[in-house]
Structures are given as C-alpha cells and as structure tokens.
Amino acid sequence: MAHPSDKDDPAAPVVSRRTFLKTAGVGAAATSLAGVAIPAGAAVLGPGPVPLSLKINGAVKTVNVEPRVTLLRALRNHLDLTGAKEICDRGACGGCTVLFDGEPIASCLMLAADAEGHEITTVEGLGSPEAMSPVQAAFVEADALQCGFCTPGFVVASTALIRKNANPTLDDVKDGLAGNICRCGTYSRVFEAVQKAAKASARPAGRKA
Amino acid sequence: MSQEAKPPEAPTVTFTVKAGHVSNPQTLEVHAAEGDLKPWDLDSKLRVVKGRQPRLDGKYKVTGRAKYTYDINMPGMLWAKMVRASVPAGQIVKIDTSKAEALPGVKTVWTTDSRSVRFAGQDVAAVAAVSPEAAEDAARLVEVTYDEAAYVTDLEKAMADDAPQVYEPDKVPGPKDVPKKGNVVGPTSPRRGGNRGDVAKGFAEAAVTVEETYSVPVHTHSPLETHGVIAKWEGDHLTVWASTQGVLTVRDGMAEALGVDRKNVTVITEHMGGGFGSKLAPSATGTAFAVVACKLAKQAGAPVKLMLDRREEHLCTGNAPSALMTVKIGAARDGTLTAVHYRSFGSAGIAGGAGTGGPAGALHGKCPNLKIEEHDVFTNAGPAAPLRAPGHPQGAFALESAVDEMADQLGLDPLEVRRKNEASPVRLIQYDVGAKAIGWERRNKKAGETAGPKKRGLGMANGNWYVFARGSGVGCEVRIHRDGSVEYFSGAQDIGTGFRTAMAMVVAEELGLKTTDIKPNVGDTRWPEGPASGGSNTTNSVAPAVRLAAHDAKMKLFAVAAPMLGVKPEQLDAADGKIFVTGSPGKSVGFKQAAAKMTGETISAVAERKKQYETYRGDLAGCQFAEVEVDTQTGVVRVVKMVSVNDCGFPINLLTTESQIIGAMIQGVSWALFENRVLDRNVGTMVNPNLESYKVLSAKDMFEAVPIVTEIANAGNNTSCAGIGEPCIVPTLGAVANAVFNASGARVRALPITPDRVLAALAAARRG
C-alpha cells in the first residue's frame, strides 16, 4: 500500500510498532506495520496515550492509553476490571476471555483501539457477588473452581456457549471450553456446572444465562 | 511432621476414641496434651464437618471480584520487569542499563552482583517504570555481555566423566558421607522408609525377577497466576502482597535479605492463583524477584509491582526433577515379593533434591528385603522446587510399573499381587472400593486381547503419603461480636484448596452455627501464625487450633448465656443457632440473643495448636484405577475413566476434598500423557516456555473422574483430619501406564506416553 516515494520523504509520518493505524471508512485496521508509510486517508494514533471510548458492560468508558495497549490491559490496568487474566499472553489459555459483541474472544490478542464501537462484556458484567448469573451460581454450587484464577475465563466462555446452545451435550461443553485451561483440574465440575446452568436457564421461569 | 512416639513430657489427658475405618473400628487411647479437646472420632455426631460446603469465596471468584496479587494496583505504583540470562553457563562481562535508564518513564534499575551464570533464565537485571509497556521496553534495552562456557542440560550426559562440571560442592554441600563424583551425588536413601533386610538374599529366594528402567522428564509447575509481588514501603515498614504458599516464609525471607526486622514486614495473600509447591520459597527457587521488587520500591520511593511472565514462570520458578529409575524386584510364583532394589538418578538442575524413593520405602510393606539408592545429578537448568508430592509420582510410576510387569510375567492379577504384599489395612479396604467402582473384572486377562484397532484396558497403581502437621506455634483467633456475627483469623493462606471454607466449617461445628455465618480472614502475617502450605499440612496444622479457639470463644459466650438460663456454663451446648441446656433442648437462648448480652463489643479467643498424636497410622493410603483407550494405528492414548480412592483422615469439607482429588487425577494424567519441559541441547534454553507447546490437559482431553474418600478417624489431632493435596497424585502415572499396557500390550517406560512411544512399544511387543 505504501508508495515508494513516501520512504524518501523524511516528513512523511511512519508507522512504528508503538503507533496505530486507523483507516477511515474501513472497519479493519492494520497494526504492527513497523516502518511502513501511511496510506492516504488513514489516521495515526500515538505513540503517546490517546483517548479511546469503550463500551464496557453497557456503560461508555473513556481510557487514555497508548495505541499498542491490548483490550485486556486497558480493562485491567485502566478500568479496574481485573476479572479477566493475562495468563499465557498469546491466546492459548482462555483466561482473558471477554464477550465482543456477544462472541467470546481472547482480549490479550486485541488492541483496545480495535474495541471502539463494539459491545464488550466482562465477567464483572455478567453478575455480582450479591446477584450471580445462573452460570456463576452453578459454578459455586458445583465447586467448579479451586484457585479460581482461570474461573472468570471459564464463566464467560460458558455463558457464551449456553447462549448459543441452550441444551449442550457433554461433548458440546468440551468443545465450547476447549480454549480454556485450568491447572488445578476442575474440568469435570465445570462441565457439571455448565449443564446445570443450561437447564436452569432453559426453564421458562429461569433467568437468562 | 508427625512426631516420634515417645514418653509424654508435658501433662497429658487421656481420651478413649473409636479410630480407624467404620468397617473396622479400633478403640484406642490418646494421650493428648492438657487443654486439648477429645478428637472427633467414629462416634462423633458431626453436623457440619464432613459435609459438602460450597466455597465461601466462590461468589467473589466467579464474578471476577476476588483480588489476587496480580490484580492489585495502587496509585503511584511502578511496574517492574526482569532481565534474565540468555545463556546457560558462563560469566557476565558487562550489564549496560544506560539505554534503559534513558527511556522516558523508567524510574530505577537493579543489576545483579553475581557474575556467574549457571542456567538460562537466571536473574540479571530489572527495571521499574510507570507502565508495564514502558518496563517491557526498558528491559529489552538492557544490554548484557556474556563470556559463555560449556554446559550440559541432559541428565545422562551430565553423568559422563567428561561432562562440564555443574555441581558446586560449596553451594550444595549435601550429606557428609555421601559419594560425590562429577555431577553425581549419591547414593542416598530417603528420609522415611529406607532399607531393610538383605536384597541379595531376597533375589536368591525369588522364583522370578524383573528389572527395568523407567524415566520421567521435568515437569514445570505452571500455576496460572505467575509468581509476583507488590512491595510498598512506608518509612521502615514494608508491606508485601505476594502470590505465595507461605506468607511467613516471604516475611522472614524479605527481612533477612533486606536487613529489616521481621515485625516491620507484613505479607498478605488474600487469594492465590495456584502454586503446587513452586511458591514455597521467599521469592522462588531460581530467582530473587521478590527481594528485587522490594529494593526497586525502596530506590524509587514508590510501590512496585513485579509479576513474572509465562516464560519466566517456566524458566526460574521451579520444576519437578527428572527421574531415571531402575527397579529390580523378585517374587515367588504366588506373587509374594521377596526383594525390591530401587535405584534412581534425577536432576533438579543446579540444585539437589531429586530423590524419588519414597514410594519404594512405603509401599508393599510386607516385602522383607528393600534397598533404595537415590542420586542427584546436576545440570545447567533452573533449580527444581517441590511439586505436589515431591519425587513420589515419579517413584510410584517406576515401582508400580515394575510390579505390574511382575504380575504379567507370573500370569497373576496385578491387584491380587498388591493385596498379597499389602501392609496397610486402609489400602486393603481401598482395593475393594476402587475395583468395584472401575469394574476391575472388565480388564483384559491377556494384554491387548480386545479385537479391533482401538483397544480398551484397565490398570491400577498405589500411592503413599505421610501425615504432616506443624505441631506447635500454629494459632487461630475466633471473635464473636455483640451483633452475633463471628469471624476467625488465621495467618495461613488459602492457595485454592478451600482452606478458608474448611476452617469456617470447624468454627461453625463448634459454635452450632451455619458455615455461612462465619467470616474467614486468612493469609496475613499480622494474624496468628499458620504453616506454609506444603506437604499437605495446612488443614492438619490449623484445624485443631481453629477448633480450640472456637471452643474457648464458645465457653466465654456460655458464661454470658448461663445466667439467662439459670444454669452453669458447663451445662450448656450449642446447635442450630441456639445455646441450650444439655439434655433439655427446650431450655435455650438464641446465639444472637446471648451475644447481645456480652459486656464488651467482642469476645475474642486465641488458641495454639497442641502436638500431633501418633495414634492410628502416620501414613496416608491411596490407590487409583484407570481405564484407557489406545488407538493402535495412531498410538494415541485417551483416558476414559479414573477412580481415585484416598485416605485423608476426616475430610473437613467433602466437596472441596473431592475437587482436590479430581484435580490430582487431571494433573497426573497431564503428566502421564503430555507434559515435558524441552531444553534445547544446542542452545541450552527451554524451547517450550509457554502454554501451547508445553501442553497441559485441556477440556477436550477430559475423562470421567471419580473421587472416593476413605474416611479414617486417625485421632492424630482433635479434628482427626490429615491432608489430601499430595497423596492423590502419587498413583496416577503408574495407573495410566499400566492401563495402556493392559489395553494394548504396549509397555511404555518413558513418560510422557506419546503416540510415537506407544507405536514403538507395540512394535517391540510384536517382536516379543
């Protein structure tokens, strides 16, 4: 995309790994194009902190972060939403799972800037200690947690699973949680909790998961 | 640690208890320390303890509200990042931090005084900056120059005469009379069990002998919360929020390293994201990161947060030693063992402690002749840390595989061979329970006899552990407030076992309340001392002190309630939220009503644990049964079902006890089939320091896990409880390997049992 002559122009802004390229009118954004010159119509954010407007758990929040900051770190270090965890930092463990327009994603693999204009739901947004969601309550009841560090990720992934599949089989649950790692070893009780929560949510009188 | 049976010195009180298993109760006398309570036994009518109580902290954990060390951020806090040695051996020539220090946002740096590099991942430098991103950038700008030296990372190569010398006797002196040659220190015998009889004589008497060599690679602990601290100075006072298994260990370690008085150090661990033995050191076995964080905080005059990243967690915070084990056993035709000779070599990297002889010393106790020889081999790798039953899963894998091979040679049922040599009455009960739960009669009479390429089979193995408890210096405080609310305080930390909930159950039992009425306060050095959580000793150490404190608080409340009912305090009892006259439950006053009458705002009782009693048995028995499916065309092994039968004395909370047993089966299967730390022989560094190529068991690999607790009233303390975290992981590796053999005829003697090894073993079996 870069025009060769751009490289010769010392005044032309250059994208580095600390800046962020936003292409106007196009949903996609390119990142980490170190040394690549900027196409016409694109705005460069950073490298210093930039204000971002994020819709988290139904409320609009403004954060001032460097463009390279991930959604996970924006949540954890700038919004005090520390339920999601950075465990592997490369999308291998599911500990940072949040809902992105209702879909479970690894928030360690998404830049906060990419989350603008989307609905983000974290584990905190699903329920509170005083009013747990059916999935959260089922996790506690079935003892589907030990140290609990992976638990927020499992709760979010399980919630997404039940919303898509109200009556999951054991194999469906295993598929839905294939991206989440637990080191204490609670999988079987997590499966039990998810199937219980699905049943509770499926009842007409029951609340939605 | 269970104490030696010796004549009591302090005044004692004698209790008669009904101990052991309900199917075979034994009336025993307990010579308890004066002031202790009669142990709960088989006759005790317990309302809360031994029940199933969901965790009190569960609602905070499932909603993301629980604050782990990693989640704590505070105003003005700096973020630190360490720089680690990129080479496995040599000298540090120069550490240049000038570029890092010049980076905007960087506040202070630290560099090591040590010039010698002994493993890739060792501490070299650290930076503290205003954001994690700035700290990461700065760490990359630190330039380190090394003068590299020859190294060795492979166990067997390190044993060669011409191997680079890794072992430094001055750093790891080891026992005095033990031979030391090159990188090999040994033989030694385990502290417990040990040698008996004459193995040469035993082998001469044997009709059949089996001698095979087995191996287990290094496993890393990989807790999901990495090691980390937040260090904050206020004048001379240091507060450390730590992801640790021992707040007191961190307190003492920081005080010593920094030259601060212990009373000026506070350590807090409210929630902890897993440790499995790696978080028992003040920092960790292969890094002084916590000390570094405290120094950076002092230098910068600001709180510093230092959490290791996933790669560092693999490199320098501990791992389980590798093991190369040769087991020779002799037996008569009927399966009676005549001799066991157990010989092991293992590497804990640059540290000692690779012994694996524990199971050989404890299992098959009727065998008259036993010799155990353990050796530590030193390699250029991070020092090991205790990992969930240190050395025992490895040792039980080798021993229990060899016993299985012996049974196969003799054409006997491996379970019958074990029964014949069993010295524990508890395990004899467990054999029946486990065999029934797995359907042992379904096993192949001849290995691999099932038709078709996907073959199923059953296997079993034994495990052992010990009743460990800190018998003194452990305390607890129980407070009853005027509004009737109750809370307890214990310095010991809940590392994910459900400790805080179990202790609340003990308080509730004693006070006649519900567990949810009790507020737990754990993991803070300002509260009564608790042990570090290792050796499956936390519940066993603390629960008796909790019961005593709750009892003392109750007696103080009874003194308030007695005049209300016109009786003496000794005539009162408590249950269902009421205080009533013993024998006349109608004559009662509510717990809250009584509390409202207290003169002050709070009744407080602090109690100290009494000694541990050697009454029923000092060992913990367990065995596991596995059903697996082996695809003989691809070599892929799938665990279908596992049954674990374990003794932990009285389980305080059956629900969370079962969870730990399930977790042990899962972690054990993960070790058996997947986990393997890979150190590249060409560069001497770990090449899979992550969670995708260091593969751990995931949801898709999951099997049916059946935990069964064999309740034993061991009367070793006033609650009869012992530990569970470790014993339940000891048999898993052997049970899976033996099931793979029964299913397919493939005897895999090297873990993990990967498809290539299964196919090679099947080929070897076909060749005969």
pLDDT band at B614 (very low <50, low <70, confident <90, very high): confident
Q: Nearest by CB to A187, from B67, B495, B699: name it.
A: B699
B573, B591, B608 — which closes off a domain?
A: B608
Residue B525 in this model has a pLDDT that exceeds 70? yes
Give the per-residue SS3 of B458-498: EEEEEEEEECCCCCCCCEEEEEEECCCCEEEEECCCCCCCC
Pair B705, B737 in one domain: yes
The 3-state secondary structure of B31-98 reads EEECCCCCCCCCCCCCCCCCECCCCCCHHHHHCCCCCEHHHCCCCCCEEEEEEECCCCCEEEEEEECH
Q: Are residues B414 and B559 in the same domain?
A: no
Question: Is residue B603 domain-shared with residue B734, that is, in the same domain?
Answer: no
Q: Identify the closest residue of chain A to B58 by CA–CA distance.
A: A140
Is 60 exceeded by the pLDDT of residue A34?
no
Q: Provide the pLDDT for residue A206.
A: 44
Chain B residues inside the 8 Å CB shell of A74? none
Q: Are residues B733 and B762 in the same domain?
A: yes
User: Does residue A201 contact residue A134 with C-beta atoms inside 8 Å?
Assistant: yes
* pLDDT value, residue A6: 41
Q: Is residue B588 part of a domain?
A: yes
Domain that holds residue B242: 69-150+222-317
Q: Which of B61, B244, B652 to mutate to test the interface with A (most CBs of A within 10 A)?
A: B61
* Closest-CA residue to B442 (of B177, B148, B643, B733): B643
Q: Are A111 and A162 part of one and the same domain?
A: no
Q: What are the residues whose beta carbons fall under 8 Å from the beta carbon of B766, sequence distance 6 or more?
A: none
The percent of residues above 70 in pLDDT, for chain B, comes to 99
Q: Which of B224, B495, B704 to mutate to test the interface with A (most CBs of A within 10 A)?
A: B224
- Looking at the fold, whether A68 and A120 belong to one and the same domain comes out as yes
In chain B, what residues touch A150 (CB-CB under 8 Å)?
A: 224
The last residue of one of the domains, among B608, B631, B646, is B608
Residue A36's domain comprises: 4-45
**Contact (Cβ atoms closer than 8 angstroms) between residue B765 and residue B499:** no
- Residue A144 in any domain: the answer is yes
Taking CA atoms, what residue in A is nearest to B59? A129
**pLDDT exceeds cutoff 80 at B413:** yes
Q: Write down which residue in B275, B302, B317 finishes a domain.
A: B317
What is the structure's pLDDT at A20?
73
Q: Mark whether B554 and B481 lie in a shared domain.
A: yes
| Residue finishing a domain among A125, A153, A168 | A125
Residue B314 has pLDDT above 90, yes or no: yes
pLDDT band at B1 (very low <50, low <70, confident <90, very high): very low
Same domain as A118, residue A176: no
Picking from B456, B356, B457, B461, the residue whose alpha carbon sits closest to that of residue B403 is: B461
| B181 in any annotated domain | no
Alpha helical stretches, state H, chain A: 4-8, 71-78, 123-126, 134-141, 151-164, 170-176, 187-202
User: What pLDDT shows up at residue A24?
Assistant: 46
> Are both A139 and A107 inside the same structural domain?
no
Q: Is residue A153 part of a domain?
A: yes
CA distance B697 to chain A (A): 8
**Inter-chain Cβ pairs, chain A and chain B, closer than 8 A:** 182
- For residue B170, what pLDDT band results from cuts at 50, 70 and 90? confident
In terms of domains, do A60 and A88 share one? yes
Category of B590 on φ-ψ map: left (φ > 0), alpha (ψ -120 to 50) or beta: beta
- B62 φ/ψ sector (left φ>0, alpha ψ -120 to 50, else beta): alpha
Number of domains in chain B: 4
Tell whether B261 and B283 lie within a shared domain: yes
Residue with tokens 């150090």: B265
Residues B101 and B138 in one domain: yes
The band of B442, judged by pLDDT with boundaries at 50, 70 and 90, is very high
Check if the interface score ipTM surpasses 0.95: yes
Do B699 and B744 belong to one domain? yes
Distance from CA of A9 to the nearest CA of B (A): 27
Q: What average pLDDT does the segment A93-121 reach? A: 98
pLDDT given for residue A37 in this prediction: 66
Residue A10 included in any domain: yes
> Would you say residue B305 lies in a domain?
yes
CB contact under 8 A, B61 and A151: yes
Asked whether residue A119 is assigned to any structural domain, the reply reads: yes
Domain membership of residue A36 (yes or no) is yes
pLDDT digit string (tens) for B215-237? 999 999 999 999 999 999 999 99
Instruction: Specify if B166 maps to a domain.
Output: no
The contacts of residue B584 (CB under 8 Å, 6+ apart) are none
Task: Please answer yes or no on whether A148 and B309 come within 8 Å at the CB atom.
Answer: no
Same domain, A24 and A75: no
Interface contact A128-B656, CB threshold 8 A: no
Could you tell me the CATH number of the domain that includes residue A91?
A: 3.10.20.30
Q: What is the CATH number of the domain that holds B493?
A: 3.30.365.10
Interface touch B664/A152, C-beta < 8 Å = no
Domains in chain A: how many in total? 3
Whether the pLDDT of residue A7 is over 60: the answer is: no
3-state secondary structure B645-678: EEECECCCEHHHHHHHHHHHHHHHHHHHHCCCCC
Which residue from B minimizes the CA distance to A139?
A: B62
CB contact under 8 A, B61 and A190: no
A69/B696 Cβ within 8 A: no
- What band does A26 get if pLDDT is binned at 50, 70 and 90? very low
Q: Are residues B250 and B335 in the same domain?
A: no
Q: Dihedral angle at the C-alpha atoms of B480, B482, B483, B487, nearest 10 degrees?
A: -20
Residue B164 inside a domain? The answer is: no
Q: How confident is the model at residue A46 (pLDDT cuts 50, 70, 90)?
A: confident
Domain shared by A133 and A193, yes or no: yes
pLDDT on residue B5: 56
- Please check whether residues B474 and B332 belong to one and the same domain: no
Of A126, A135, A146, the CB nearest to B659: A146
List the single residue in A with minimal CA-CA distance to B703. A188
* Average pLDDT over chain A, rounded to an integer: 86
pLDDT tens-digit series, residues A148-171: 999 999 999 999 999 999 999 999
Calpha distance B55→B61 (Å, rounded): 10
In a domain, residue B159? The reply is: no
Which of residues A103, A125, A147 is at a domain's end?
A125
A21: pLDDT strictly greater than 90 = no
Asked, for residue A104, whether it belongs to a domain, the answer is yes
Pairing of strands B265-268, B237-242: parallel
Query: A87–B663: do the CB atoms touch at under 8 Å?
Result: no
- Domain co-membership, B746 together with B628: yes
Final residue belonging to a domain, choices A91, A125, A159: A125
Determine contact: B660 vs chain A, CB below 8 A: yes
Specify burial of residue B726 (Cβ count, 10 A radius: 0-12, 13-18, 19+): buried
One domain, residues B209 and B253: no
What is the token pair recorded at A3?
Answer: 């025009």
Q: What is the pLDDT of residue A27?
A: 40
Q: Tell me which chain B residues have a C-beta less than 8 angstroms from the C-beta of A84.
A: 64
CA-based nearest distance B55→chain A, Å = 7
Instruction: Specify if A209 maps to a domain.
Output: no
- Report residue B4's pLDDT band, with 50, 70 and 90 as the boundaries: low
Q: Is B244 on the interface with A (CB under 8 A)?
A: no
Among partner residues B64, B495, B704, which is closest to A122 by beta-carbon distance? B64
Q: Does residue A86 belong to any structural domain of this protein?
A: yes
For chain A, say whether B104 makes contact (Cβ under 8 Å).
no
pLDDT at B2: 45
CATH number, position A150: 1.10.150.120
